[in-house]
Structure 1
């Protein structure tokens, strides 16, 4: 039988969010329960009062993990410890979650060298920060009849940025437009860590330079 992990969940009633937790110990108001031991072993159907007695003898809690089962399924556990560990895991999970951002860069077929380098450097900055980059190429006039030139231009950008990215979506024509998506090699969390280390190293260098300058400055007579 698959068990539902006991955890807090929310329900919304008339716009209000209400927290609801599983029933624990004396809050379990049924005659019989299907008991699961602290290590997941199946004890079987027992009277609730007997399950409560076993919980007290083991210095554990009796927690309802499947209220809709017949009879309800309960488990012996240290509920306070469980809630604490669950909260810690939830915080760690949120800390490591990153929101993927797609930065859009528009280019044209008649792009000059300076603009090309500017767009490439801009894309490299985004990619080093852990964001994806979408190049949007707009065909004008007769350029629409030469889509292979657009593919060549976008592939050239992909090659120029190959050290910091991979091609997630190859050049694809959509009417008068063509797009390509590059994904960063580094995950955003790693990119942020690298940025933090660079900032700390820079501050350390500046502090060392100020200290050296102060030591070289002759004392006023």
Structure 2
């Protein structure tokens, strides 16, 4: 990111602190305005002529850079798989809590594995519970594969949209 006196162009296309268009002006004049407002002049791209620049407060700029780097790291790593465990005979309030957790995880960009541990002969109830959860979570995610029913647990994986 090129800032302040490091901008070598003679003219810049300036955007104000709040996003207002200030037009094309000399770099010296843009730097003068930046010093008056106690902000930085940041060049956004060198691809065009005159280069687009923006007046940005230093704290906002640092926060923006931190957010972008965190977002890039998350994209590089890919989505995490987070497990939510349930029982086949779950109370309504607990069900709502687990559903809310799954929604939060899916909207943050991570995948959810819904696991229902089985005790006796409750595989049908567990499968119905998982199917109901998947139906209610379709607005924020999609099912990866089918519902897997093994001897001791029922598992379904949901991916974010």
**TM-score after normalising by structure 2:** 0.51
For 1:17-28, list aligned pairs within 5 A. Answer: 22-28=1-7
Instruction: State the alpha-carbon separation in 1 of the partners of residues 113 and 22 from structure 2.
Output: 52
| Cα displacement (A) at 1:70 | 1.4
| Cα displacement (A) at 1:182 | 1.7
User: Of residues 99, 107, 111 in structure 1, which corresponds to 2:80?
Assistant: 99
Q: Which residue of 2 aligns with 1:35?
A: 14
Q: Which residue of 2 aligns with 1:166?
A: 134
**Distance 1:133-1:59 versus aligned 2 partners, 3 A rule:** closer
Unmatched 5+ stretches in structure 2: 88-97, 103-111, 116-121, 136-142, 148-153
Please report the RMSD computed on the Cα atoms of aligned residues, expressed in angstroms: 4.3
Q: Which residue of 2 aligns with 1:176?
A: none
Higher radius of gyration, 1 or 2: 1
How many aligned residue pairs are there? 112
| Cα displacement (A) at 1:86 | 4.3
Q: Which residue of 2 aligns with 1:4?
A: none
| CA deviation vs aligned residue, 1:128-170 (integer Å, no higher than 9, x gap) | 8975379xxxxxxxxxxxxxxxxxxxxx946423335537344
Unmatched 5+ stretches in structure 1: 1-21, 103-120, 122-127, 135-155, 172-179, 188-221
The answer to whether residue 30 in structure 2 is matched with residue 56 in structure 1 is no
| CA deviation vs aligned residue, 1:37-95 (integer Å, no higher than 9, x gap) | 1111111111111111111111111000122111100011113432135426865996x
- Secondary structure of the equivalent of 1:68? coil
Instruction: State the alpha-carbon separation in 1 of the partners of residues 50 and 68 from structure 2.
Output: 31
Q: Which has the higher contact order (CA 8 A, sep 6+)?
A: 2
**Distance 1:74-1:85 versus aligned 2 partners, 3 A rule:** closer
Instruction: State the alpha-carbon separation in 2 of the partners of residues 41 and 69 from structure 1.
Output: 19
Where does structure 1 differ by over 6 angstroms across 4 or more consecutive aligned residues?
A: none
**Distance 1:73-1:85 versus aligned 2 partners, 3 A rule:** closer
